[in-house]
Amino acid sequence: MIEFKNVSKRYPNGFEALKNINLTIGEGEFVAVIGLSGAGKSTLIRTINRMHDITGGTLTVDGTDVMTLHGKSLRAFRRRIGMIFQSFNLITRTTVVKNVLTAFVPGQPWWRATLGIYTKEEKMKALEALDQVGILDKAFVRADQLSGGQQQRVALARTLAQNPQIILADEPVASLDPVTARQVMDDFRRINQETHIPIIINIHHVELALQYATRVVGIREGEIVYDGPADQVNQETLDAIYQTKKEGAA
Ligand code: ADP
């Protein structure tokens, strides 16, 4: 369970990107974080795995206050949090399965990582993860020969190989065409339903958010202005999140 209590985030330049965030996300949830560009979506997601440190309040993951983690404990914690980016972040000149195997590098002795030696168990796990996202047949193809959607699936498989307790995704479909974006969202939904791993996805495409997520968190200027079921989001909610009703402002 992820629990934000009165969380704020002020960047070193003084800008307050998150203000008094209260949010609890449990097992099996599929949460879409939506809002205008600059609203704080990415900052919110990145505080969960400590890519960004919060500056006020408390943030706990399964009861652990993330700000108490340092060095080894922080590295171990991060290994259990999958993170998917818009840009896939693959090693394009090597095979798909080798990309997935990199998930194991952080926990390996340095000499195994240097030599690129993986255990049989790790190799099985990598192939299993590729099977889970439907691209086992591409295991020995070079990553840069795959389409964008397939590359994002490799990134998802790499994350699954980590045995994540949470999956965070920062604009995972932003650089994909609409058809491929849906395929990747289908994968997220299936993985969420099959594994019950909570998925928190930052997405600017509202229709996809409403269609795929079970819960929507709407952020405006660093504050949560909506938190509820995706199927209860209506035009009024969207206006509040995207502040399209300017006429009432003055
Ligand atoms: P979103 O993901 O909703 O587009 P972000 O979380 O990336 O928004 O950014 C929220 C706000 O914080 C923006 O106004 C952005 O300019 C600001 N911001 C992001 N990163 C930094 C930083 N490192 N230093 C200062 N301000 C930042």
The ligand 1 atom nearest the CA atom of 219:
3
| pTM of the full structure | 0.93
Which protein residue's CA is at the shortest distance from atom 25 of ligand 1?
Answer: 11
pLDDT band per the 50, 70, 90 thresholds, residue 244: low
Q: Which pair of structure tokens corresponds to residue 209?
A: 């958010």
The ligand 1 atom nearest the CA atom of 39:
3
What does the pLDDT read at residue 246? 54
What does the pLDDT read at residue 88? 84
Does ligand 1 have an atom closer than 6 angstroms to the CB of 47? no
Q: How many whole angstroms from 184 Cα to the centroid of ligand 1?
A: 26
Percent of the chain predicted with pLDDT > 70: 97
CA distance 152 to 21: 30
Does ligand 1 have an atom closer than 6 angstroms to the CB of 9? no
Q: Kindly report, residue by residue over 25-36, the tens digit of the pLDDT.
A: 999 999 999 999
Q: How many whole angstroms from 174 Cα to the centroid of ligand 1?
A: 17
Q: How many whole angstroms from 20 Cα to the centroid of ligand 1?
A: 16
What does the pLDDT read at residue 222? 97
Q: How many whole angstroms from 178 Cα to the centroid of ligand 1?
A: 26
- List all residues 6 or more positions away from 235 whose beta carbon is below 8 Å from its beta carbon: none
Which protein residue's CA is at the shortest distance from atom 12 of ligand 1?
Answer: 17
CA distance 19 to 16: 7
Q: Kindly report, residue by residue over 189-229, the tens digit of the pLDDT.
A: 999 999 999 999 999 899 999 999 999 999 999 999 999 99
The secondary structure of 104-134 as a DSSP string is GGGGS-HHHHHHT---HHHHHHHHHHHHHTT
Q: Please give the single-letter amino acid code of residue 236.
A: E
CA distance 155 to 219: 26
Q: Kindly report, residue by residue over 135-191, the tens digit of the pLDDT.
A: 999 999 999 999 999 999 999 999 999 999 999 999 999 989 999 999 999 999 999
71: number of Cβ within 10 Å: 7
The ligand 1 atom nearest the CA atom of 42:
2
Q: Look at residue 136 and give its three-state secondary structure.
A: helix
pLDDT band per the 50, 70, 90 thresholds, residue 107: confident
CA 93 to chain centre: 24
What does the pLDDT read at residue 108? 82
Cβ(48)–Cβ(81) below 8 Å: yes
Look at residue 249 and tell me whether its pLDDT is greater than 60: no
**Residue 34, strand partner residues:** 218
The secondary structure of 12-68 as a DSSP string is TTS-EEEEEEEEEE-TT-EEEEE-STTSSHHHHHHHHTTSS--SEEEEEETTEEGGG
Does ligand 1 have an atom closer than 6 angstroms to the CB of 13? yes
- What strands, in cross-sheet order, belong to the sheet with 199-202? 81-85, 166-170, 199-202, 30-34, 215-220, 223-229
Which protein residue's CA is at the shortest distance from atom 21 of ligand 1?
Answer: 11
Q: Which pair of structure tokens corresponds to residue 248?
A: 């009432």
Does ligand 1 have an atom closer than 6 angstroms to the CB of 35? yes
Average pLDDT, the chain: 93
**Residue 3, strand partner residues:** 24, 60
Residue 183: DSSP 8-state: H
- What strands, in cross-sheet order, belong to the sheet with 16-25? 16-25, 2-10, 56-61, 64-65
Look at residue 5 and tell me whether its pLDDT is greater than 80: yes
pLDDT band per the 50, 70, 90 thresholds, residue 250: very low
Give the total residue count for the chain: 250
